[in-house]
Structure 1
Amino acid sequence: MALPKYTVPSLTPEQGAEVAAVLQGRLDALNDLALTLKHIHWNVVGPHFIAVHEMIDPQVDAVRLMVDAIAERIATLGVAPVGTPGALVKNRTWDDYSIGRDSAIAHLGALDVVYVGIITSHREAAEATEETDPVTNDMLIGHLHELELFHWFVRAHLESVGGALTTGSSSTEKGSAKKAGAKDDV
């Protein structure tokens, strides 16, 4: 990445470029999350359809606002944000969402895994910017508040009365979807 010709006061161009690079990763991940959430919204079926269908759209809207805030922060740092689909696919380090038309609970099982990845990476980005750029760090922490809330909404559908997740210890989308979806087959 080329150094910006300017950045925010108190940061060097090198620091501005470093923070922008961290944010570009978050921009890609959140753009992907917004698309994944819409995919889920369109492909949920079964007895929990309407609850999940209606729960997802406000998450999409909030994530799109996060995307805009991150892109504008990158521009404020003097770097051009890249939001094209080709760049997202080229830069991502994760696989495409793997569940098609399936039960709402199966999708929530897979979405649990997606949120774990998003939140973990967002926390890493917050830590990476904590000392260099408190403004960016504050923005990321604010996003974490919402992302963790949405994750709780997902997990509330997957939790037994005893507090265990129906996904068990599965750490893959398909594995979590299968375990959570088994609850629908009972």
Structure 2
Amino acid sequence: MPTPKKIPTQTFHVPGLTAKESATVITALQDRLFAYTDLHLVLKHVHWNVVGSNFIGVHEMLDPQVDAVRGFADVVAERIATMGGAPIGTPGALVAARSWDDYEIGKDTAQAHLGALDLVYTGVIEDNRAALDTVGEIDAVTEDMLIGQTGELEQFHWFVRAHLENSGGRLSTEGATTEVEAADAAREPQRRTARKSARKK
């Protein structure tokens, strides 16, 4: 997991944890704060830029996800402060610390954005589970918080993947390793349908 360039100075730590243990948890939480801040901006970007036949369904599906993830960021930031850290919420610090690139899809179809979001959610959830491994050995309170958030993220991921899955359980984005590849793969079933319709005419 990436860590901030500069770890916030602790002024105190919660009872029952050492300063070193608190610093480890704060570092993991700061990474989650960066990830959640980025994720809610990406989700809003998709909300604004989605077009096509499934526009309204996807447009309206994303706003509750934006609100929830924004709430996760606030809870994580306050947990950092509670533990004696200083949460970092500035854009420059996020860009400097993150291990991922900017979201690559602009104005595009619902399927293309959903394909790309499949990979975005996969990355965030995998990093959350890694953070759980780190904090679970130290702080059950933080672990419990992250478990709840991860469960909600996994449900949001399911909402996205349900649009990409066929009746046999196969994802149209299977094998894609970049957002652009995933978007292209998700578009392909629609292209095939459009070509068939054109041939019938």
**SS of residue matched to 2:103:** coil
Q: Please list the CA deviations of residues 73-118 of structure 1 after superposition, one character each: whole Å capped at 9, or x if unmatched.
A: 0000101000011111111110110000000000000000000000
Task: Identify which of 16, 19, 31 aligns with 2:25.
Answer: 19
Task: Identify which of 44, 69, 72 aligns with 2:75.
Answer: 69
Q: TM-score, normalised by structure 1?
A: 0.98
The amino acid across from 2:147 in the alignment is I
Deviation at 1:184, TM superposition (A): 2.2
Match of 2:154 in 1: 148
CA contact (8 A) 1:99 1:107 kept: yes
The amino acid across from 2:109 in the alignment is S
The amino acid across from 1:45 in the alignment is V
Call closer, same or farther: CA 1:80–1:47 in 2, change over 3 Å: same
Deviation at 1:3, TM superposition (A): 4.8
- Is 1:5 equivalent to 2:8 in the alignment? no
Task: Identify which of 154, 164, 173 aligns with 1:167.
Answer: 173
Q: Which consecutive residues of structure 2, in runs of 5 or more, have no partner in the other structure?
A: 1-6, 194-201
Aligned counterparts of 1:49 and 1:2: Cα–Cα separation in 2: 42
The amino acid across from 2:69 in the alignment is V
Deviation at 1:18, TM superposition (A): 1.2
Deviation at 1:68, TM superposition (A): 0.5
Deviation at 1:2, TM superposition (A): 5.7
Q: TM-score, normalised by structure 2?
A: 0.90
For the aligned residue pairs, the C-alpha RMSD in angstroms reads: 0.9
CA contact (8 A) 2:50 2:110 kept: yes
Aligned counterparts of 2:8 and 2:56: Cα–Cα separation in 1: 47
The amino acid across from 1:117 in the alignment is G
Which residues of 2 match residues 71-110 of structure 1 at below 5 A?
Answer: 71-110=77-116
Q: Which consecutive residues of structure 1, in runs of 5 or more, have no partner in the other structure?
A: none
CA contact (8 A) 1:3 1:14 kept: no
